[in-house]
A = this chain, B = another copy of it.
């Protein structure tokens, strides 16, 4: 499955005239296989072993390229650094306010909201973003144990 995705993504890159460098391949591969939503620095650290002298700039450059081609989404939340996510299927995020974990969850796309927003504001709507915040099960458990 992940293999297919990778081949598919590489095909997209080639079609866009983007070169497949080992570093770029590794960044893409890491993002496709990571269930977490890593920061640029996470990716940098994760690939440090394979590419001892890769620079952070390269990670950022590649993330920008992958974003431009539409393979990757950049998520900006309250905390200082951006997180990156493979733009696979439509899904929303739920974020733990204690441990900052980000998990995916599925919900039928809120088309009516987009429609109503367009009507009320006169905007030409392109997309929307929704996040739910709360405390994850593990953190709830930890809280209980403390008391």
Copies in the assembly, this chain: 2
Contact flags A96-111 to B (C-beta < 8 A → 1, else 0): 1100000101110010
**Cβ of A107: which chain B residues have Cβ within 8 Å of it?**
113, 116-117
Interface centre among A97, A114, A122, A123 (most CB of B within 10 A): A123
Assess whether B127 is in contact with A130, with CB atoms less than 8 Å apart. no
Give 5 new A-B contacts, CB below 8 A, not counting A94-B125, A110-B130, A118-B134. Answer: A121-B137, A126-B133, A128-B130, A128-B131, A129-B130
A76-B76, A76-B77, A78-B76 known; A123+B117 contact, CB < 8 A: no
A110-B110, A132-B114 known; A126+B97 contact, CB < 8 A: yes
Q: Which residues of chain A from 65 to 100 have a CB within 8 Å of any chain B CB? A: 74, 76-78, 92, 94, 96-97
Task: Please report the total number of A residues contacting B with Cβ < 8 Å.
Answer: 37
A78-B74, A94-B121 known; A130+B130 contact, CB < 8 A: yes
Distance to closest chain B CB from A74 (angstroms): 7
Distance to closest chain B CB from A136 (angstroms): 6
What is the bound-complex CA distance between A134 and B120, given in angstroms?
13
